[in-house]
Amino acid sequence: MAGVSLVCVPLVAKSVEQMLSEMATAKVRGADVVEIRLDHLASFEPRRDLDLLLRNRPLPALVTYRPKWEGGEYEGDDGRRFEALFLAMEFGADYVDIELKVAQEFLDYLSGKRQDRTKLIVSSHNYQSTPSTEDLSSLVARIQAVGADIVKIATTAVDIVDVARMFEVMVHCQEQQVPMIGLVMGERGLISRILCPKFGGYLTFATLSVGKESAPGQPTLSDLLDIYNIKQIRADTKVYGIVGKPVGHSKGPILHGAAFRSVGYDAVYLPLLVDDFASFLHTYSSPDFAGFSVTMPHKEAALACSDEVDPIAKYIGAVNTLIKRPSDGKLIGYNTDYTGAISAIETTLQGSSGKVSAGSPLADKVFVVLGAGGAGKALAYGAKEKGARVVIANRTYERAKELANLVGGQPISLADLENFHPEEGMILANTTSIGMHPNIHDTPLSKQALKSYALVFDAIYNPVVTRLLREAEELGVTIVTGMEMFIRQAMGQFELFTGLPAPEKLMRDTLLSMQ
């Protein structure tokens, strides 16, 4: 069973006509099944509507008539629901879903008239939490005992580690050859919906577009098929991802997913919304969870959790890449932010001077780092390593002093930075989040002050051209974007993840196509 999960599009339109048109779209876009949610229809005439919907279905159909008390829209009595579901069976529905709470009553109602061609899904929904593995297993047993063809359990993730319990139960069901749909709702449960084939899930749900979800956390069909490549996920597919909080904004899944696919690397890259980094690593400790990109606020925790740390990442005090070493499962931490940013600046400087120098073009330059957080440390360390004279300016002056002491640089206040112009040819690197979406009209330094610089870099990549960069460009100053840093740090990660050279052109084209 593992590796062949069906992808089902729930139809929550208000009219039969709209549902029929969405069914056709679902088929064209690559869905395997549609779920007809009768409880969403504004006016429902069972015989006429079910005949129309099922006779004209272009794909296998699952018919569900969910009551309010189980998270649906239907408010009437169960008799009418049972009648409609029975009719759906008579009209040849491929699947019918009935809630565990009334499954026995429904089967009694059907008495001897259960149709073999229609598979009965018996479902249980928990909108608060995910029970223990033992409780989930006994729920499976109860659902089986009632006579389900397919067990369906949907719970809610309070933490991403909750999903591991569902995976455990799914794997057990698979071993016992019990078809099971196991889903964990909510943003923290997203991985249950994507990794369904890896753990032997029978089916997963995906919407045609954002806003058409029938339950919290459903991805879109195009994300599932095109970004996560779900049809290629198998039991031994490796799992990578970006760990952060928040994490939904990251372009990593699109970028790394496309890169893995282009070289035929059997892996999926997921957004991993994590609250407690150590507990996440502890829970997903199997070798298949093979490596992670790490973003705010977990870069320091990633350093603390590493069994071995690259000396530079240790010095910077932040890990943005974790690899699980296949030979012994040890976690090795790296920092590709610093190489990404510094190489982007060096390449641009080399390009603009037209000279190819033996050493770094940063050598002996005054390099002002604005900000003293994770990215600030990475830039300050990288510039120092290349022989630049580093100056640190930060809102919290104490932190500027600390970082300056660490790298052997000079601290400066933000106010003094406005008139700082000891010499020509200086470089400015903004590593604060000032100017980042949605505050795109903010800037960390006046346009006037930018005249002192030969090159201005901004770590922010959303927007790609920040106000700071736009104003620098208007003054004729060379600029380097955070997107260039992002792509280079991601290329470094790809090489650490796969041991293969990064497909640079493909990665650049992928990012460009997103802008």
Binding positions for ligand NAP, rule: CB under 6 A = 296, 337, 371-376, 394-396, 399, 431-434, 436, 459-461, 482, 485-486, 489
* Contacts (Cβ under 8 Å, ≥6 apart) of 102: 78
Residues annotated as catalytic (active site), given as ranges: 125, 152, 299, 337
Residue with smaller CB distance to ligand NAP, 85 or 369: 369
Minimum Å gap between C-beta 337 and ligand NAP is 5
* Contacts (Cβ under 8 Å, ≥6 apart) of 92: 54, 117, 118
**Contact pattern from residue 305 through residue 334 relative to ligand DHK, giving x for each residue in contact according to CB under 6 A and a dash for the rest:** ---------------x--------------
- From first CA to last CA, the distance across the chain in angstroms is 39
CA-nearest of 278, 237, 276 to 257 is: 237
Residue with smaller CB distance to ligand NAP, 208 or 309: 309
Query: CA 316, CA 90: separation in Å to the nearest integer?
Result: 67
The option from ligand NAP, ligand DHK, none interacting with 459 (CB < 5 to 8 A, set by class) reads ligand NAP
* Contacts (Cβ under 8 Å, ≥6 apart) of 454: 424, 425, 426, 427, 477, 478
The option from ligand NAP, ligand DHK, none interacting with 13 (CB < 5 to 8 A, set by class) reads none
Minimum Å gap between C-beta 293 and ligand DHK is 4
Tell me if 486 sits within 8 A of 252, measured CB to CB.
no
HEC letters along 45-73: CHHHHHHHHHHCCCCCEEEECCEHHHCCC
Answer yes or no whether residue 339 interacts with ligand DHK by CB under 6 A.
Answer: no
CA-nearest of 22, 21, 62, 60 to 38 is: 62
Q: Which two tokens stand for residue 211?
A: 């806003």
Q: Which two tokens stand for residue 433?
A: 């989040």
Residues 380-439 that bind ligand DHK (CB under 6 A): none
The option from ligand NAP, ligand DHK, none interacting with 293 (CB < 5 to 8 A, set by class) reads ligand DHK
Q: Which of 46, 252, 444, 482 binds ligand DHK (CB under 6 A)?
A: 252
The option from ligand DHK, ligand NAP, none interacting with 250 (CB < 5 to 8 A, set by class) reads ligand DHK
Q: Which of 207, 293, 452, 466 binds ligand DHK (CB under 6 A)?
A: 293
Instruction: Compute the 3-state secondary structure of the chain and give helix, strand, coil in percent, each to the nearest 5.
Output: 40, 20, 40
Q: Where are the alpha helices (DSSP H) in 247-360?
A: 252-262, 277-283, 299-305, 311-316, 337-353
The option from ligand NAP, ligand DHK, none interacting with 343 (CB < 5 to 8 A, set by class) reads none
Residue with smaller CB distance to ligand DHK, 119 or 188: 188
Exposed / middle / buried, residue 336 (Cβ in 10 Å: 0-12, 13-18, 19+)? buried
Residues 48-107 that bind ligand DHK (CB under 6 A): none
Integer CA distances (angstroms), 19 to 176, 216, 220, 249, 263, in order: 36, 20, 17, 31, 39
Q: Which of 130, 207, 489, 510 binds ligand DHK (CB under 6 A)?
A: 489
Answer yes or no whether residue 242 interacts with ligand DHK by CB under 6 A.
Answer: yes
The option from ligand NAP, ligand DHK, none interacting with 242 (CB < 5 to 8 A, set by class) reads ligand DHK
Which strands make up the sheet holding 238-244, listed edge to edge? 267-273, 238-244, 289-294, 321-324, 331-334, 308-309
Q: Which residues pair with 324 in a beta bridge?
A: 331
Residue with smaller CB distance to ligand DHK, 67 or 503: 503
Query: CA 434, CA 450: separation in Å to the nearest integer?
Result: 15
Answer yes or no whether residue 250 interacts with ligand DHK by CB under 6 A.
Answer: yes
CA-nearest of 220, 184, 209, 180 to 197 is: 180
The option from ligand NAP, ligand DHK, none interacting with 482 (CB < 5 to 8 A, set by class) reads ligand NAP
Residue with smaller CB distance to ligand NAP, 102 or 428: 428
Query: CA 11, CA 450: separation in Å to the nearest integer?
Result: 54
Residue with smaller CB distance to ligand DHK, 192 or 320: 320
Minimum Å gap between C-beta 156 and ligand NAP is 30
Total residue count of the chain as it appears in this document: 515
Q: Which of 218, 295, 431, 466 binds ligand DHK (CB under 6 A)?
A: 295
- Binding residues for ligand DHK, how many (CB under 6 A)? 9
Omega cis (within 30) before 297: yes
Residue with smaller CB distance to ligand NAP, 50 or 369: 369
Answer yes or no whether residue 258 interacts with ligand DHK by CB under 6 A.
Answer: no
Tell me if 170 sits within 8 A of 143, measured CB to CB.
no
Minimum Å gap between C-beta 74 and ligand DHK is 41
Residue with smaller CB distance to ligand DHK, 422 or 499: 499
Answer yes or no whether residue 510 interacts with ligand DHK by CB under 6 A.
Answer: no
The option from ligand DHK, ligand NAP, none interacting with 124 (CB < 5 to 8 A, set by class) reads none
Q: Which residue is nearest to ligand NAP (CB)?
A: 373
What does the binding site for ligand DHK look like in residue numbers (CB under 6 A)? Answer: 242, 250, 252, 293, 295, 320, 337, 489, 493
